[in-house]
Amino acid sequence: MTSQFPFGRPYDFYELLADGIVHGIGMAFALIGATTLIFYATIWGGGGEQVAIWIYSLGLVLALGVSFAYNMLPHSRVKWVMRRFDHSAIFILIAATYTPLLQQGMSDPQITALLVWIWTVAFLGIVLKCAFPGRGDRLAVLLYLAMGWSGLVAIGPISGYLPGASMWLIVIGGLIYSAGISFHLREKLRFQNAIWHVFVVAAAAVHYSAIFTALHLGGM
């Protein structure tokens, strides 16, 4: 089974327990946070802002939910199928996170082009993960990083309408994600997967704070 579906080494009970706890915390945060954000977007935002917040909220819950399901499954054909969804959901999360942060600046052609580019790369990444499962994993990591840091190309116009606090939180969240990748790649390290997901949940929480701050202070 393992040779047919190359997931890497199997995790022991305590590693799975730790990973399950991290995912449980992440899912609780995502569900409560998304509900809160949608509520305040309804109060503070217009139609475009509300759509962007819904896209982000669904992307956040989807990514953490699929990751939870995938990582708790034993090595099997079902897990191999879920692996495609898990890796694809990362592309969706990155693009969905950018959506409310860029939506307010859509009148700027550079920001519009950036958002279109991010979702295009996300779509291509999903095709890559679904069409070639188990291959191109390193390329996918590079695409995740390229998407995540692509905001730097339009940092000037973005900083013109986002609050300074949101800008700093975006950078901090990106650094946390990037630092966590080193653990994601160290498969032989015990509790490696749980540690990687701690970074994911922490970075997602920081980016959530950036979006909430932009919604509240920036008048999205």
CATH code at position 188 = 1.20.1070
Write the DSSP string, 167-187.
HHHHHHHHHHHHHHHHHHT-T
Give the residue numbers of the binding site: 197
- Report yes or no: 220 and 45 within 8 Å, Cβ to Cβ: yes
End-to-end CA distance of the chain: 50
How many CB atoms lie under 10 A from the CB of residue 92? 22
Give the residue numbers of the binding site for Zn(2+): 197
152 located within any domain: yes
6 located within any domain: no
Q: What is the pLDDT along the chain (220 residues), one digit of tens a residue?
A: 444 666 778 899 999 999 999 999 999 999 999 999 999 999 888 899 999 999 999 999 999 999 999 999 988 899 999 999 999 999 999 999 999 999 988 989 999 999 999 999 999 999 999 988 877 788 889 999 999 999 999 999 999 999 999 999 999 999 999 999 999 888 889 999 999 999 999 999 999 999 999 988 755 5
109 located within any domain: yes
5 located within any domain: no
7 located within any domain: no
8 located within any domain: no
Predicted pLDDT at 1: 40
- Report yes or no: 18 and 26 within 8 Å, Cβ to Cβ: no
Which of 101, 97, 103 lies closest to 63 in space, CA to CA? Answer: 97
1 located within any domain: no
Predicted pLDDT at 219: 52
CA neighbours within 13 Å on the CB side: how many for 83?
A: 20
pTM: 0.93
For 176, residues 6+ apart whose C-beta sits below 8 A from its C-beta are 199, 202, 203, 206
- Name the domain count of the chain: 1
Predicted pLDDT at 4: 64
Range of the domain at 46: 13-217
50 located within any domain: yes
C-alpha to C-alpha distance for 163 and 212, rounded to whole angstroms: 11
